[in-house]
Amino acid sequence: MGIYLASIVVFLKSGEKYLRNIALFAIFTVIFIEALLFTHQTLPKAAYIENYGKDFFARLTYDSSGRIVFFSGNMLPLTATTYGISLIEGYDQLKILDYVNLVPTMYENRPEIWRRIIENNSLLSMTNTKYLVVDNVVDNIEEIRWCIARNEEGRNFLAPPVLCGKTNAVSEPVYRKLLSFPSATLYENLNVLPRAYPVSKIRAIDSIQEVRETLLSFRLNPWFEVALSKGDVREIGTENFSSGDVKIEEYRPDIVTLSARFKGTGFVVLADQFYPGWKAYIDGKESKIYKTNGVMRGVIIPAGEHIVIFKYVPLYIYACMLYSGLLLALILIALFKLRSEPHDAQG
């Protein structure tokens, strides 16, 4: 828009022929570049979207406490959003690179990748994935079992194989079959973490790829520890935090309200995407949001009872809107003056 404005003003105001030619060339160059970048996509008709998968999606239980992921290439998962279903793909509509590197778009992958991620479970539980729609080429999901241990607060966590013989660790199923369909099966993830939860330990891991590999190799246990950058860990000055409780009081696309209670200083993870424009307030005072597990939001909570509010304030978008408005106003003013100048000369 800025190039258009400058080129139009130069073209209309300049008395030099070569400057007018340069301005005209700039205008057509920008138009040509935009034409090259233009893409066309045929959108399906509204009736098709309304009826696509209606029998299937209508039978899925809407549950605001967890997301759904599709391990099937035979469906259009985002169509489920019209039924109020929260998708793991739903917080990746713009293909943000960090998130794709950690959690690849499942329905675009191969069955062997599906199997590995389903059997591991860490990525799914960490991202609040409570339900799985799995293509029937991947079978025996309900037979996957883990050695589950429980800490002092009664929370489940993945136990290394060496602990399976201990009295506090038992082998339990990871998934439960809910519904069967001709091409896919719906399962419930029994180990899923809530959308907001406390952790007792942070670890210094800078690379998104390293976060993913430590999760898939069971070297990062998301049930009680998370990954932060080395710089953030140095800034915080400690890796251990107090136990506590967290509850979501309000959840909207632009604002999330939590109530938190900790014995000492705690760390809370919100399993929503870390993105510029989000701000956190603890009892009305702004607090830093840490990029957690490479893609999520995390905040440090002081001891005691507190209200934590995550609010989306897209200052960059507001600034761009203001800039565009000013440029448009300047274009209109320039064109108005240029149009009125011949009349003044005639008078």
pLDDT of residue 181: 81
pTM for the whole structure? 0.75
Q: Cβ-count burial of 231 within 10 angstroms (0-12 exposed, 13-18 middle, 19+ buried)?
A: exposed
Q: Could you give the CA distance from residue 96 to residue 206 in angstroms, rounded to a whole number?
A: 17
- pLDDT score at 91: 47
What pLDDT, in 10s, does the model give residues 301-323?
999 999 999 999 877 777 778 88
Taking alpha carbons only, the member of 69, 158, 71 closest to residue 115 is 71
| pLDDT at site 53 | 63
Q: And the tokens for 161?
A: 């194989």
Q: Can you list the domains of the chain with their CATH numbers?
A: 2-40+316-346 (no CATH), 59-189 (no CATH), 218-313 (2.60.40)
pLDDT in tens, 120-150: 898 999 999 998 989 999 989 998 888 777 6
Q: What pLDDT score does 94 carry?
A: 42
Cα separation, 320 vs 331, whole angstroms? 16
How high is the mean pLDDT of the chain?
81
Q: Is 226 exposed, middle or buried (0-12, 13-18, 19+ CB in 10 A)?
A: buried
Q: 294 with 102: CB under 8 angstroms?
A: yes
By DSSP bridging, strand 184-189 and strand 255-262 are unpaired
Q: Give per-residue pLDDT as tens, 198-239.
A: 999 999 998 888 998 998 888 888 988 999 999 999 999 999
**Residues near 30 by beta carbon (within 8 Å), at least 6 away in sequence:** 3, 4, 7
37 versus 246: which is more confidently predicted?
Answer: 246
Q: Residue 346 pLDDT more than 60?
A: no
> Each residue of 92-109: pLDDT tens digit?
444 466 777 787 777 778
Residue 64: how many CA atoms within 13 Å on its side-chain side? 6
